[in-house]
Amino acid sequence: MQTCIFDFLFVCKFLTPERRRNSMPEIRLSRLTKRYGAVEVLHGIDLEMAENEFTVLVGPSGCGKSTTLRMIAGLESVSEGEIFIGGSPVSHLDPKDRGLAMVFQDYALYPHMDVAHNISFALRLQRRPKAEIEAKVREVADVVGLTGFLHRKPGALSGGQRQRVAMARALAKDSDIFLFDEPLSNLDAKLRGQMRAELAIMQQRVRKNMIYVTHDQVEAMTLADRIVVMHDGHIQQQGTPEALFKRPVNRFVAGFLGSPPMNFLEVELEEADGKIFAASPDVRVEIVGDLAVRARRQGSRHVVLGIRPSDLSHQPEEVRGRTIRLKVLVSEYIGTRSVLICECGQASIAVEVKSETPVALGELAPFVVRNESVHLFEQSTELAI
């Protein structure tokens, strides 16, 4: 099962030189809106996906990411707005006429058809010549290791084999645009990690437009050329994984991306000796660089301080304006690293440290903050300062 993505790479050598040279179409969503009765679940989405780009739509359950993907595929109708592929509107087109291939979370195989007919379904809809269809099925089945299973039905296959059938069906269609709807969510943790790495390799070698939906931020960070973070039917932020991780536009994005997630502490901004600090009864952290300039212009003194677990380190000696004392409650050993769950006043703080760090449970230990990497957010709007 874990070889199917590498097999996907291999099949690309069967594409003609013309197909490989031609650019892929740009995809654009303009004011895309979706309503179910009186309930609006997508609120005027504007989004452009460039040629040959691997775009990942990510967000919690119910944010609208799968609905967006299904509207692009033509499986959901558009309430308002338009979808453009290669500059042409396609919202009025049937799914089969949009030039797309889709891999679903649950494989979406036809149980009454054997493997060969599942793979060739789109080709038969296009009324391709019988000889061409048979040749393509044999070619793709050989690549994904299904040659001996062509006359079996999905109920007689393992989960891994059914996934291969779904991938083979997408390959047989030979589309310019591939849509992935949480294809790894049914796999166990170990296989999911392997498949994630193989998808990343596929991304680098296959010049195709790919749109990938997941709720797993690790998948988004490792796979995407560009991440689109969604929440409550709105796009919160889009950009490269590094840009979103280092410069989140609001508290939601900051807390959603990163594992373990960012820590948040309610603080007040205070100035002393020409410096500005984020302070509370339990915390006093100096704000430095451009963030200090923006903090001084901030209207409200009540803000939220954001610190990633990896931006805290255990040091026996305290450093003024950089040290927080935390009570260590739990140590989660994960190999070379450990995640410490600590108490800071009424707040819970996660700290990522080397596993050999000499910290005992129940200890009130000093941790030094990497000042240049902290974040500040407005309390009322939750926007980044």
What's the mean per-residue pLDDT of the chain? Answer: 87
SS3 189: helix
- pLDDT of 297: 92
* CA contacts within 13 A on the Cβ side of 1: 20
- pLDDT of 201: 65
Listing DSSP states for 278-344 in one string gives: EEETTEEEEE-HHHHHHHHH-S-SEEEEEE-GGGEEE-SS--TTTEEEEEEEEEEE-SSEEEEEEEE
How far CA 232 is from CA of 41, 44, 78, 333, 385, in Å, comes to 7, 12, 18, 35, 22
- Give this prediction's pTM: 0.82
* Average pLDDT for 346-374: 93
Compute the residue count for the chain: 385
- Residue 273 near residue 264, CB atoms below 8 Å: no
- The enclosing H or E element of 253 equals helix 251-256
> How far is residue 275's CA from residue 151's CA, in Å, rounded to a whole number?
74
Q: Tell which wins on pLDDT, 50 or 385.
A: 385
* Average pLDDT for 216-236: 94
pLDDT band for position 1 (50/70/90)? very low
Give residues with Cβ within 8 angstroms of 7, minimum separation 6: 143, 144, 145, 164, 167
> How far is residue 162's CA from residue 154's CA, in Å, rounded to a whole number?
6
pLDDT band for position 18 (50/70/90)? very low
- pLDDT of 194: 67
DSSP conformational letter for 384? B
pLDDT band for position 24 (50/70/90)? low
Which of 216-220, 239-243, 265-269, 373-377 is predicted least confidently?
Answer: 216-220
Q: Tell which wins on pLDDT, 107 or 149.
A: 149
> How far is residue 343's CA from residue 306's CA, in Å, rounded to a whole number?
15
Q: Is the pLDDT of residue 240 over 70?
A: yes
* List of long-range contacts for 83-91, beta carbons under 8 Å, 24+ apart: 83/27, 83/28, 83/29, 83/30, 83/32, 84/26, 84/27, 84/28, 84/29, 84/30, 85/25, 85/26, 85/27, 85/177, 86/25, 86/26, 87/25, 87/26
* Average pLDDT for 119-133: 91
351-361 pLDDT per residue, tens: 999 999 989 99
252-307 pLDDT per residue, tens: 999 999 989 999 999 999 999 899 999 999 999 999 999 999 999 988 899 999 99
Q: Is the pLDDT of residue 374 over 60?
A: yes
- pLDDT of 108: 81
* Average pLDDT for 313-320: 85
Burial annotation 93-126 (CB, 10 A radius, 16+ → b, else e): eeeeebbbbbbbbebebeeeebbbbbbbbbbeee
138-191 pLDDT per residue, tens: 988 887 778 999 999 999 987 767 877 887 888 787 788 889 998 877 767 776
pLDDT band for position 11 (50/70/90)? very low
SS3 350: strand
Q: Is the pLDDT of residue 313 over 80?
A: yes
